[in-house]
A and B are shown apart, each in its own frame.
Chain A
Amino acid sequence: MNNKIFTAAALSALCLLQAACSKDLNRVPNNGVTASQVYSTPLGYTQALAKVYAAFANTGNVGGTGSPDLPTQIINDEGNSDFLRLYFNLQELTTDEAAWTWESDAGIQGLHEMSWSSTNPIVDGLYYRAAFQITLCNDFISHSSDAELAGKGFSSTTVDSIRHYRAEARFLRAFQYWVLMDLFANPPFATEKDPIGAFIPKQISRSDLFKYIESELKGAADSGLVAPHQALVGHADQAAAWSLLARIYLNASVYTGTARYTDAITYCNKVIGAGYTLHPDYTRLMLADNQNNTDENIFDIMYDATFIQNYGGTTYLVHGPAGIPNNVSGVNGSWSGLRLTQDFINLFPDFSGATDHRAQFWTTGQTKNMTALYTSTAGFATFKFRNVTSTGAADPHQDNGDNFASIKFPLFRLAEIYLIYAESVLRGGSGGDAATALNYINALRTRAYGNTSGNISSGQLTTSFILDERGRELYYECFRRTDLIRYNEFTTNAYLWAWKGGVAGGTAVDPKYNIFPIPSTDLSANPNLKQNKDY
């Protein structure tokens, strides 16, 4: 009897104990917060938006390396995992503009040779970087709808600025979807309406994605983005959205089969009408204080050697080129990696830079001909990017080790808009005229030569001249692959450059290489996806 009573008492005591302790299984971090905490204050919104932007610039949550956004399974070396370095590698290393010396670096082999596969870490890296940025945008957009903002007690000024933020997130999302559309054609698709962590995205076709991007850019520009020149440094404004619209219209026939040159001209006119002018000195476009180039730059990715540190971005573009000494680059040494093919150098009749100042090539110790693909001295390098200020002084935010760069990277600048305008006019778009087109091109050339000696006549202004001029003006700014595809010269034998197709003299390759494959990792994870043609 005693026994039973004791057992009963003990059991009920244990049950009480269980009830009391079970809630100890609800543990929460002391340095992490929930979405509702982040999105409860105006500062929280700004800091959430800061990450949406920082995901463009940084590789992770710790300066340099230490807490990567992309897991090591995708890119083992965090320094290679930021947006710009990945984007540059796919847009430039695949073309006549660049090769990288270190063949054992993950994913390098096969890029310049045009024989990449669906398990290439650089291809995968850009795909997942874009997806990560889109996911952050979706998260921000879903937490900043009018319904979400209502009842938080924010002032009307705060609500207004968060509405601007929301439009910026829509713009950035459209930008990354454009990257996916341009490189991967048919990526998976998700918006702020999809529940993160609990759904499997569907695939979207390139032409449907084009329509979505077009409508999102227009929507963001019309309802929320700040007028040109009105936003604080770092924020995207209407001109950024208009510029991207001009760019996608220029390439519309590649994406959808339907040319949209008239629309391209329309949006070029909007940008130009907003009062941008060319920065007087081409050689000062890519310096440590180029955030001040608000005359020409429309939208920049911000970098800072102290506050926005990573081993990609413009840090990569300063260190990467082979052979550049410290007193030229402004940083602690060359990584002996990036060189240009002689075929690209030949776009400049005088590569010394004495005539066309855009020819900023480092030739000391380098051969002009890219005699070998994986040798650091084979091919000239460029010092277009230098981490010094426009007065030649050291970067005021230089880190102790001289590792990082403060050069901002213009995703859009006026020169490109001039070139889009001219090409669209030549390709039959209406709303512009040939004389204005020639004026714009000659404006670029006058700046490049320092006088009018390089100006061309209307008879010289052809589409093929524009392609070459885009090369001279925009090299190393991540345009080359898209341009060569638009001119059908990327995979064909219409234009051969050193080591194209893995052959010293260059050779044509399978047209499937005009787009990249969907990473096999995602095909494993997402049964809704189909691989791109022929991969």
Chain B
Amino acid sequence: MHILLLLLFISSTLLAQRRTITGKVVDNKDGSPLSGVTVQAKGDLKGGTTTGSDGSFTITVGENARILVFSFVGYAAQEHSIGAGPMTIGLSAGEANLNEVVVIGYGTTRKKDLTGAVAVVDEKDFQKGTITTPEQMIAGKVPGVSIISNSGQPGSGSTIRFRGGSSLNASNSPLIVLDGVPLNSDVAPGQKSAVPGAGSPLSFINPNDIESFTVLKDASAAAIYGARAAGGVIIITTKKGRGGELKINFRSNNSMSTLIKEVPVLNAAQFKQVVNTYGTPDKVALLGTSNTNWQDQIYQTAFGTDNSVSISGGVKGLPYRLSVGYQAQNGILKTDNLQRTSATLALTPVLFEKHLKVNLNVMGSMENARFGNQGAIGGAISFDPTQPIYSKSPRFGGYWEWLDPTTASGLKALVGRNPLGLLEQHYDKSTPKRSIGNLQLDYSLHFLPDLHANLNVGYDYSDGRGTTFVPDSAAESYNAGGVTSGQNNKYRSTNYNSLFEFYFSYNKDLKNIRSHIDAQAGYSYNNYLSTVYNYAQYYADGSMVPKTTPPTASVDYQHTLISWFGRVTYSFEDKYLLTGTFRRDGSSRFAPPYRWANFPSAAFAWKIKSEPFLENSNTVSELKLRLGWGITGQQDGIGDYDYYAYYYLSDSNAAYQFGNNYFQGWRPAGFYSTRRWEQTSTSNIGLDYGFLDNRIYGSLDFYHKNTTQLLNQVSQSALSNYSAYIVANVGSMTNDGVEFSINLEPVRTRNVTWDLGFNITYNKNKITNLTVVPDDPNYPGFGSGNIAGGIGGQFTEINAVGTPKNTFYLYRQVYDTKGNPIEGVFVDKNADGLINQNDLYKTKSADPNTFIGFSTSFNWGKWNFSTVLRSSLGMYDYNNIRSQTGTLNQVVKNVTLYNASASVLTTHFNGNAQELLSDYYISNASFLRMDNLSVGYNFGAISHTHTNLRLNAGVQNVFVVTKYKGLDPEIGAGTDIGVGNPGIDNNAYPRPRVYNLGINLDF
């Protein structure tokens, strides 16, 4: 209490005597004014302002103030003595932002004090252009992190993998923490997305609200998130108000997306020739007289606009930022459309004599989407090109369809429907909403200011609902008479996640022993509740489809995590840094005896640059060695309750008859009572370097990851469990890799600067054990890579000991003397005269082993040119479009005529069913893609107003260089194709080329 009084006394004294200082802050590079720079008097915690749009500031300081501190994200902070008259300060972005403060989870640190493998990407390095999901902004920017968009559909999300992924059956997705709120990435069983009706849960976040991404790559950095960090951690920090005068930013980006390329299929003339040559007379008779390119019909040039306004400033010492965004983006698939309205509010007041920092964030977002029926994509590839689009009859909405007068509906049964009709007569509309918010209180204790108490309370609520409506005239679901036709089906699910965290933080300089201690200890409670609503099915007229009442109206999926955590960072002479973290997690997904686990980590860093022999070097501006080790865990992607045998009632159409009644049955589910966490231990050796005033800087990291107790589907001995397979802790897998990044600034003058960034990652994945008895020769491994074609449901890949995951497992094709494949002839590996599963061999993997990212930015006066290129090497793709449709049987041996992949003209394959599993269909899918090319012009302040104007234009997905013959070598875990089919190219929603024009105004 005495201390408090003393503080109050001091402050009131200071208040008494004040003076005003003015000045301007500019960028050292080009002399342009820097807005938003924080200006504070050193030692005076109370004052402070930020620079305006012209870089100018006015600050009132106490009588005793001697020095002003200037700090700005991405720039080195500077201290300047207060002189007489206005000051002009130049800030430099060059010094590798070493003093930049990095959010590291339960606290922050200076970048130069980091001990783990941590990467930060902030606004100036974001990918530019039309971005519908925020993670796309850092694609290719961080070594060791691969971010692949799932498809070309607006808002469709991405597959994110850190260092090859550390799991087989559990989740491989990173933990994403938005302003301190960990988001749930688990998708409830039977759902396509964590928020149904939304492509990606991250699509709700307006990319323009994001200030930075912090990527925690190694276990020593991530272990503070313990059981959830094995897939890596991405911390997203949103923009905050900086106080000071009112600032308004308006930005608008307008785009045009175009289809780059179509799947090569037979044109009408080629198609006719094939039918005439190979078809029976009844097939020839089916030929039409039109010439329709169905792919032209289903795709469109799509326009989009993305606008946001943000207001920030401070009202009576209350810094705020409010932003509103509206994005409307059409898909290149006709009828596909996403609209998002978002609003965010951030309040960051500092109260009680700077003792209480408040951080309040609320984000609300609403989407209004219509999902184009992606069935039309495959339909357009295989629909007969000799048929017209419209039938000149009002039946079936006027779309031409295959008819059969002998059926009650008049439609031929079990054949493809008009692709354009599938789009235009299908209304899958949803209006998902999401709100995320949290309140963080950081209280520096009055009697012990070095000790902070931190409280973080947050929520994440989403409600995804929509309706699939198909009119009763649509051929897609037409029944005789029309009364019981069409669809009018609802879907809905909600997520309600809550967070409570509390921790202490202690920060102390121990000058007498030249040490510094920084420690945190706390408690975290997370609850995740998803509710999936079940509905009966309805016809278009609103009447219920009989017997479709679901057994339960809604199903809840809930899990809870409770954790204790702590971290101590000790530094000696500001040269030697030691960090130890510890987290103890409890998860409701495990039986009580296995519920809790410990996740420790330790790291050491040596700032070699600070040693006497380098301290004064002009050549070496930064050198730091990092050694880290830690254990992280995984429990996402597995069942919530199956450590215990619960009984689930069957649906009414899977019942059994006793007498005249049909009884639904109780089925006990397989269970595994001793299930525990999957654990990944990571060792990391890293070197951060900088030369020549950090005009060259970067890092080099070597890592070894070993995942044990893999949460893996393993067989249960027959008769011992209700399910023959269960997710158990069996097996192990390693990832070894090296990451290298280098950033160069070859030119740095007042008018011209040129930055280059390059990063490369090599990762080697190997499965080391999969069975209870290690190296069991009986166990071949388990399949992945589901393909379509034949009866469907065949695997083309295997996960087996000794090879990387998702290794293709196929027959070896035999070729004739001219090098053409001989249909149905394969190498008989075991020479038993049969070609069957015993002749499959392991070949290339669907996963890349090398990732490369390259960014460059060139500033010349007011002009800026930049580009981002990305490359993945060493992976193979299976062309399922060719294998499924590239046969003569596809054209002439079905009930009707179907179009085929143009490859049939060279292979002349008839359609031997085993050919689907031929290695002929895999090919090298290594690629180089230019993600982004953009040019900007900064008009600066317009005439005498305080308005700053920038214009930019760009192209996304500029080109792809690859040997792969399919549409796109890069295959994400597409939303509709089914997760878990890496490397299988089948009817993907093509990624468009996007042309952008943007404007940015600062008032």
Contacts and interface: CB of A to CB of B under 8 A. Distances in A.
A307 B652 contact: yes
Contacts of A33: 646-647, 666
Interface stretch (B148-156, B319-327, B331-339, B828-836): B828-836
Contact of A135 (B447, B592, B721): B721
Taking each of B644, B714, B793, which has the highest tally of chain A beta carbons within 10 Å of its own beta carbon?
A: B793
B721 A104 contact: no
B560 interface: yes
Interface string B882-896: 000000000000010
Contact of B914 (A10, A103, A196, A521): A103
B562 A25 contact: yes
Contact of A309 (B527, B586, B653, B716): B653
Interface string A357-391: 00000000000000000100000000000000000
Contact of B653 (A188, A306, A529): A306
B122 interface: no
A2 interface: yes
A106 interface: yes
A201 B719 contact: yes
A317 to B, nearest CB: 17
B413 A333 contact: yes
A354 B790 CA distance: 37
Contacts of B560: 24-25, 27
A35 B657 contact: no
A32 B647 contact: yes
Interface in B940-970: none
Interface in A333-358: 333
B645 A105 contact: no
Interface residues on chain B, size class: 35 or more
Contact of A22 (B448, B562, B778, B780): B562
Contacts of B782: 73
Contacts of A505: none
A151 interface: no
A502 interface: yes
B614 interface: no
Interface stretch (A56-64, A88-96, A251-259, A440-448): A56-64
A77 B448 contact: no
Interface stretch (B92-100, B551-559, B569-577): B551-559
Nearest to B771: A524
Contact of B658 (A233, A333, A524, A528): A233
B651 A63 contact: yes
A366 B997 CA distance: 65
A14 interface: yes
Given A119-B780, A523-B778, A524-B779, A30 B555 contact: yes
B791 A187 contact: no
Given A27-B558, A77-B792, A117 B656 contact: no
Contacts of B837: 106-107, 109, 117, 119-120
A107 B793 CA distance: 13
Contacts of A190: 719-720
B655 interface: yes
A235 B658 contact: yes
B841 interface: no
B402 to A, nearest CB: 14
Contacts of A24: 525, 527, 560, 562, 588
B641 A400 contact: no
Interface stretch (A40-48, A463-471, A480-488): A40-48
A534 to B, nearest CB: 14
Contacts of A145: none
Interface in A127-157: 127-128, 131-132, 134-136, 138-139
A297 to B, nearest CB: 14
Contacts of B721: 135, 196-197
Contact of B664 (A50, A110, A118): A50
A47 B650 CA distance: 9
A107 B834 CA distance: 12
Nearest to B719: A190
Most buried by A among B654, B665, B780: B654
Interface string B823-850: 0000000001111111000000000000
Which size bracket describes the interface of A in this complex? 35 or more
A63 B550 CA distance: 12
B767 to A, nearest CB: 15
A103 B720 contact: no
B313 to A, nearest CB: 36
Contacts of B653: 62-64, 306-309
Contact of A32 (B523, B641, B654): B641
Interface in B889-943: 895, 913-914, 916-917
A104 B913 contact: yes
Contacts of A189: 719
Contact of B834 (A3, A25, A502): A502
A74 B916 CA distance: 20
A31 B648 contact: yes
A302 B778 contact: no
Nearest to B832: A115
A34 interface: yes
A292 interface: no
Given A233-B658, A520-B779, A525-B772, A50 B665 contact: yes
Contact of B484 (A10, A117, A400, A528): A400
B669 interface: yes
Given A103-B914, A333-B413, A117 B838 contact: yes
A188 B790 contact: no
Contacts of A201: 717-720
A400 B479 contact: yes
A47 B720 contact: no
Interface in B586-637: 586-588, 592, 595
A21 B525 contact: yes
Nearest to A527: B773
Given A27-B559, A54-B656, A73-B782, A134 B791 contact: no
Contacts of A310: 654
Given A44-B666, A333-B413, A524-B773, A304 B447 contact: no
A53 interface: yes
A48 B666 contact: yes
A462 interface: no
A58 B654 contact: yes
Nearest to A69: B667
A159 B554 CA distance: 33
Nearest to A20: B525
Contact of A73 (B646, B672, B715): B715
Nearest to B407: A326
A61 B790 contact: no
B236 to A, nearest CB: 27
B658 A74 contact: no
Given A35-B645, A106-B793, 10 more contacts: A33-B646, A34-B644, A53-B656, A54-B650, A66-B651, A67-B654, A234-B656, A520-B779, A524-B772, A525-B716
Interface of A: 2-3, 6, 10, 14, 17-18, 21-22, 24-35, 37-38, 44, 46-55, 57-58, 60-64, 66-67, 69-71, 73-74, 76-77, 102-107, 109-110, 113, 115, 117-120, 127-128, 131-132, 134-136, 138-139, 187-190, 194, 196-201, 232-235, 302, 304, 306-310, 332-333, 374, 400, 402, 502, 520-529
10 contacts: A33-B666, A48-B666, A52-B665, A73-B782, A105-B791, A115-B836, A117-B838, A119-B838, A525-B714, A527-B773
